[in-house]
Amino acid sequence: MGRKKLAMKRIENSKFRQIAYAKRKDGIVKKTNELSILCDTDVALIMFSPTGCLTTFPSNGRVEDTFLRFVDRPDEQRGGPIRNEEYLSRRLKQLKVEREILERVAKYFYPSSISPSLCMSVLDLADKLDKLNRQHHDAQEKMRLYGPNVKEVNSVHEAELYQQSLMAAIERVQLSKAKLLGNRQRSNNIEAGKVNMEDSAFITDHSADVNQNGSSIGVENRAGPHLSLSLIQSQKQWKALGGEMTPNSAG
Residue pair 123/88 in contact by the 8 Å Cβ criterion: no
Question: What ranges do the domains of the chain cover?
Answer: 14-120, 137-230
Spatial CB neighbours of 85, under 8 Å, sequence gap ≥ 6: 71
pLDDT over 80 at 11, yes or no: yes
pLDDT over 60 at 178, yes or no: yes
pLDDT over 60 at 119, yes or no: no
Could you tell me the sign of the dihedral formed by the alpha carbons of 198, 200, 204, 206, in that order? positive
Reported pTM: 0.32
**161 — phi, psi (to 5°)?**
-60, -45
**Gap between the Cα atoms of 24 and 45, Å rounded:** 14
pLDDT over 50 at 29, yes or no: yes
pLDDT at 245: 46
pLDDT tens digits for range 138-177: 776 666 666 666 676 777 877 777 778 778 878 888 888 8
Round the average pLDDT of the chain to a whole number and report it. Answer: 70
* 14-120: CATH, from 3.20.20.60, 3.40.1810.10, 3.40.50.2020, 3.30.70.1400: 3.40.1810.10
85-109 vs 63-72: helix axis angle to the nearest 10? 170
pLDDT tens digits for range 30-76: 998 899 889 888 888 888 888 888 888 886 657 777 777 776 666 55
pLDDT over 70 at 182, yes or no: yes
pLDDT at 195: 64
pLDDT tens digits for range 203-241: 665 555 555 555 554 444 444 444 455 666 666 666 666
* Chain centre to alpha carbon of residue 177: 22
Q: Indicate the SS3 state at residue 243.
A: helix
